[in-house]
Amino acid sequence: MTSTAGIAPANPHDTAAPAPRGRKLTGYWLILPAALWLGVFFVIPFYSLVSSSLFDPNGSVLTGYDMTWHFANYFDAINDYKAQLWRSIWYAGIATLACLVIGYVLAYAIAFKAGRWKNLMLVLVIAPFFTSFLLRTLSWKLILADDGWVVGFAQTIHLTNLLNFIGLTGTDDRLLATPFAVIAGLTYNFLPFMVLPLYASLEKIDVRLIEASSDLYASPIRGFFKVTFPLSLPGVVAGTLLTFIPAAGDYINATLLGNTNTKMVGNVIQSLFTTQGDYAAAGALSVTLMAIIVGLVLVYVRTSGTEDLV
């Protein structure tokens, strides 16, 4: 193809002639199939979920459920499973913080230090997605195994004692089948969701602003906290949300890496739906989880002052 430089400015408005009548509708026709699919299979199901959460709890899959506006389902579900709900928020919160710290280093390195390796490093960030999530989680069983070198090293530097002290492991010097293992798994699995938005907002920062701060005698650390970090806040908010939300609903890490005392709310919802067939309680718990998440997100987005995420 030849250079377009001489051609494009010739008459750029040629094509902007008033569109024929039908053209105005093109946008609608193009988006209609996707909008319908998401409407029918994403939006409407929420309605079904909320209504199933108000079913008469005495029904069963075989006899069918009656819609009785049974709000007590919510009190029962929260009462019975508050430990798992609390644990999910707690585990997902710690994992999100860990992702923020680890992910920030990586995103910063890619945005400012990678030079011509930028694209390659970005591909490497998402490359782990191409192996199965379950298999990667299973791998942590081997990495954290009782006689592995990770546990040995953690014992040598007394990390196991520290983790036991803050309640993330037991007294038996193990890492596997502890809350620590579940949180480590969550951190690992959702890290790319943190790195990509962080990178996107770091990349937009005008480097001259950071240089200016150092010209004005700010130390690199002061410059980071006064200039770089505040400017990357939209990425921090987007990244923490995209990490926290799936982590709070996950139950694969809790099942594969935890023990019976590390069950998260996802474990409960899943087994209520599939093995116990208690749709009313499962629905109520699912809606509660969503409500907690939406509540936390609203508070968080308001306090951090970035409201245009979408």
Site for another protein in 263-302 (CB under 8 A): 265-266, 269-270, 273-274, 279, 282-283, 286, 289-290, 293
- Reading the block at residue 63, the tokens are 């006899």
Piece of the chain touching another protein by CB under 8 A; list 77-85, 122-130, 226-234, 299-307: 122-130
Rounded to a whole number of angstroms, the minimum distance from the CB of residue 125 to another protein is: 7
CA 124 distance to own-chain centroid? 19
**Contact call for residue 210 and another protein (CB under 8 A):** no
Asked whether position 184 contacts another protein by CB under 8 A, the answer is no
Cα–Cα distance for residue pair 280/260, rounded to 1 Å: 24
Report the alpha-carbon distance of residue 106 to residue 125 in Å, rounded.
9
Task: Say whether residue 131 binds another protein (CB under 8 A).
Answer: yes
**Residue 162 binds another protein, judged by CB under 8 A:** no
Nearest to 270 by CA among 253, 291, 285, 292: 285
Among 35, 162, 212, 299, binds another protein (CB under 8 A): 35
Mention every residue, 6+ apart, whose C-beta is less than 8 A from residue 255.
267
Q: Does 125 bind another protein (CB under 8 A)?
A: yes
Q: Does 17 bind another protein (CB under 8 A)?
A: no
Binding window for another protein (CB under 8 A); candidates: 32-40, 78-86, 160-168, 209-217: 32-40
One-letter amino acid at 201 equals S
In what helix (H) or strand (E) does residue 139 lie, and over which residues does it extend? Answer: helix 133-143
Distance CA 191, CA 293 (A): 19
51 contributes a contact to another protein by CB under 8 A = yes
Quickly count: other Cβ atoms within 10 Å of residue 288's Cβ: 20
Q: Which is nearer to another protein, 84 or 164 (CB)?
A: 84
